[in-house]
Amino acid sequence: MEIIFKPIGTAHTDAESIPRHWTVSNVEGTLVIDTEYTEALSDIKAGQQIAVLFHFHESSPFSPELLKQTPPRRDRPFGVFSICSPKRPNPIGLSILEVLDRNDNVLQVRCMDMIDGTPILDIKPFIVSRETLPSR
């Protein structure tokens, strides 16, 4: 089975350095969504959080020796599915971004951990409900 994704837009930032993860980022930038999808952004408002799926387009190819990797500031290797490495079997990233503003097809966002030019694959609402979380 072959799965093909077409980017819906591109992330842009002027930041010189990008944090490794959105939870430690204050980097601001824009998501420029292709104009054919402008109407799909109509209910996105400043102040909300969105989940953004993106392609690690500059990540090196994955190989079996990358199944376990040692993240920065860690003293042992971890399985790739338990860390946020861009070196993955499918180089897909996920970030939760704060929407600062929307102007037509452009979203001004904060908490970016994507480099300038990153292809955006999808945007979803970020919804957390205690009712949907499993009980402990």
The pTM of this model reads 0.88
Residue 48 CB partners (closer than 8 Å, separation 6+): 98, 99, 125, 126
Tokens standing for residue 90? 């499918």
Most confident of 34-48, 78-92, 122-136: 34-48
The closest alpha carbon to 88, from 69, 115, 112, belongs to 69
At 132 the pLDDT is 59
CA torsion through residues 60, 66, 68, 72, sign: negative
Kindly tell me if the per-residue pLDDT of 133 is higher than 80: no
The closest alpha carbon to 57, from 87, 29, 24, 83, belongs to 87
pLDDT digits (tens, 9 = 90+) for 43-99: 999 999 999 999 999 988 999 999 999 988 889 999 999 988 889 999 999 999 999
Kindly tell me if the per-residue pLDDT of 18 is higher than 90: no
Rounded Cα distance, 15 and 65, in Å: 32
At 131 the pLDDT is 66
At 20 the pLDDT is 81
Residue with tokens 């904060």: 110
More confident residue, 23 or 131: 23
Rounded Cα distance, 127 and 114, in Å: 22
More confident residue, 17 or 13: 13
Side chain identity at residue 28, one-letter code: E
In the 8-state DSSP scheme, what is residue 130?
G
At 32 the pLDDT is 98
Q: Give me the domains of the chain, ranges plus CATH numbers.
A: 9-127 (2.40.30.70)
